[in-house]
Amino acid sequence: MNTGRKNNLKYRTTAILCIALFVVTSFIAPVDTPHRSFDKTLTPSEAAIFQSIIRDTVPEKKDSIVNVTDTFGVKMSKDSLDAPFTYEASDSMKMDVPNKRIILYSKGKVTYKDIVLTADSIAMDQPTNMIVATYRKDSTGKIIGLPVMLQAETKMTADVIKYNFKSQRGVTQNTFTTQGEIFMNIAKSKKITDNEYFGIEGKNDHL
């Protein structure tokens, strides 16, 4: 008889504790635990690796512009002339391969035997062995690269020099030339041989 009462009391106590625990847990609000991450990952992300590759492979731009000077020294074909023919330019060179034509820009220089021709622009036509040298003007009107031809003791400066290296004949405009102690200014001249010239509206003086 006493044993049955003890068991009933034990069951009642257990039931009361279960009900109390249920009530307490029902009124407790769920608390979100913030997600934490490492400030620094041990393995870099794909984006970071990609950016690193870009920085390593793409060259950085320089703050200042560097002027690069290209020099050309090419010999003309031997079937055209009987001596080496060289030319160069400090800026650029344009080649017209089908027509065998070359144009030198900025400080052009052509050398053949004892003849040296310099000008801002020099156009060379290989089939005809003809060369045309001219100057240019800058934004202020200043003349740049006036054509100059040197041969032995003769120096010729002109606005335009047209010369055939094979026939040794040429035409010049507004020419200033010196031969020994003689200075000549000719509006238009034509060279026939090494020692013969024709000129229009010319004058000469002794140095």
Domain residue spans of the chain: 85-206
Cα–Cα distance for residue pair 14/101, rounded to 1 Å: 112
Look at residue 82 in the predicted model and tell me its pLDDT.
Answer: 73
Q: What is the pLDDT of residues 170-200, one digit of tens each?
A: 888 888 777 666 666 666 655 555 555 545 5
pLDDT of residue 145: 94
pTM > 0.75: no
pLDDT at residue 39, rounded to an integer: 45
- 84-110 burial code (b ≥16 CB/10 A, e <16): ebebbbeeebeeeeeeebbbbbbbbbb
Choices 3.40.47.10, 3.30.450.40, 2.60.450.10, 1.10.1660.10: CATH for 85-206:
2.60.450.10
The reported pLDDT for the residue numbered 40 is 43
Regions of the chain with pLDDT less than 70: 1-81, 179-207
The CA distance from 113 to 116, in Å, is 8
Q: In whole angstroms, give the CA distance from residue 179 to residue 157.
A: 12
Look at residue 57 in the predicted model and tell me its pLDDT: 47
